[in-house]
Structure 1
Amino acid sequence: MEIKVPRHLEDVPAGTSFSTAGRTVTEADIVAFAGLSGDYAPMHVDDAWSRANHPFGSRFAHGMLIASMSYALRTPMLDHLHVVAWLQTTRRFVAPVRPGDTVTATWTIAEARERASDQSTGVVTADITVLNQDGVVVQEGSDVWLVERRPAAEGRGEA
């Protein structure tokens, strides 16, 4: 059975879902992200402080680190989609992700629409859910992408 690899707007109708493999969050990931972002909040880098002072009871990863990881977890199916630009990202940080947790992501296409102002691209809105190894939702939100349309010569379906 041939699997259709999405490349253009027309290949990702609403309801299409893509799920990823897992990625385990390491101590090194958290430390590196703190260094890159400059966010050395003790809830992320100081386990003793977190155990004594934070309601979660232990250190946890930056929400933006997990959002960033979710982008890198794209499936091979999404890797072939001709995304021109990311237009918007929305995330709710629902539950903490701790060192040693493994996260996966699922994107579900909520909308794929043409643009009247530009016949060569369209806009795709994809809902995303990020889960930990126990199936707990740790992040949810949506991404909006500017995506190439199939060239008319390849059968876009135009008259």
Structure 2
Amino acid sequence: MNPITASEPVYLEDMKVGDSWRSPSREITADDVADFALLTGDNDPLHSSDAARSPFGEPVAHGLLGLSVLAGLSSEYPNAATLALVGISDWQFEAPIFFGDRVQVCTTVEQIQSHGRRSGRVTWIRQLLNQHGKVVQRGRFVTLVATRARARHLVQREPSSRKSLPAR
């Protein structure tokens, strides 16, 4: 695993194919699942106490909740100088995530391609692992990552004149 900590920004030139990081773990709770169902409107019985009759024999978290938690946990491990998420591909839901499971993310740089003069396109292999080390989800994320020169350029620019949207 890479010795770079979460607090250090990782720029394109800091990375090489094969670098990997492991995030801290996070428990998936019944409240997380209920909140996700409320947010998305996905109230499938698989995600509730009615799931005792499901193929899993107990409630499971939404697959997209797992993907969302993976995105959050991997945003700091590594703390890449990300400019944009440009794609997710080959995503597989390998095993269910049960209430109370602890998950963490293993991220590995698969490919780096230049993208203009001040950024690169990085393909990451991301795996969501449960507390037993079993892969429950896996696939590829593709992001644009800034070089140090791009980061310096962004800091030196004038503040944006765009206004934020008013609160509702």
TM-score, length basis structure 2: 0.80
For residues 76 and 51 of structure 1, the distance between their equivalents in structure 2, rounded to whole angstroms, comes to 36
Cα RMSD (Å) = 1.8
Structure 1 31/138 Cα, relative in aligned 2: closer, same or farther at 3 Å? same
Letter in 1 for 2:120: G
Letter matched to residue 88 of structure 1? G
**Alpha-carbon distance in structure 1 between the residues aligned to 2:92 and 2:78:** 22
Q: How does 1:125-140 map to 2 (within 5 A)?
A: 125-140=123-138
Q: Paired residues, what number?
A: 145
Inter-partner Cα distance in structure 1 for 2:100 and 2:13: 39
Partner of 1:57: 57
- Kept after mapping to 2: 8 A contact 1:130/1:139: yes
Give 1:71-110 correspondences, 5 Å limit: 71-74=71-74, 76-79=76-79, 81-90=80-89, 91-110=91-110
Q: Is residue 18–residue 75 contact of structure 1 (8 Å, CA) maintained in 2?
A: no
Deviation at 1:112, TM superposition (A): 1.2
Contact 2:22–2:77 under 8 Å retained in 1: no
Match of 2:119 in 1: 121
Deviations 1:23-77 (A, max 9, x none): 00001000000000110000012x2x3212x211111000110111112213645
Out of 30, 33, 47, the position equivalent to 1:30 is: 33
Separation in 2, partners of 1:122, 1:98: 37
SS in 1 for 2:10: coil
Shift of 1:10: 1.1
Corresponding position of 1:157: none
Structure 1: 5+ residue stretches without partners: 155-159
Aligned counterpart for 1:141 among listed residues 139, 142, 147: 139
Cα separation, 2, equivalents of 1:122 and 1:74: 18
Cα separation, 1, equivalents of 2:9 and 2:16: 10
Identity of aligned residues (%): 33
> For 2:17, which of 9, 14, 21 is the aligned residue?
14
Matched residue type, 2:85: W
Query: Which letter does structure 1 place at the counterpart of 2:71?
Result: Y
TM-score normalised per structure 1: 0.84
Given that residues 19 and 75 in structure 1 are in contact (C-alpha distance below 8 angstroms), is that contact kept between their aligned partners in structure 2?
no
CA distance in 2, matches of 1:105, 1:136: 11
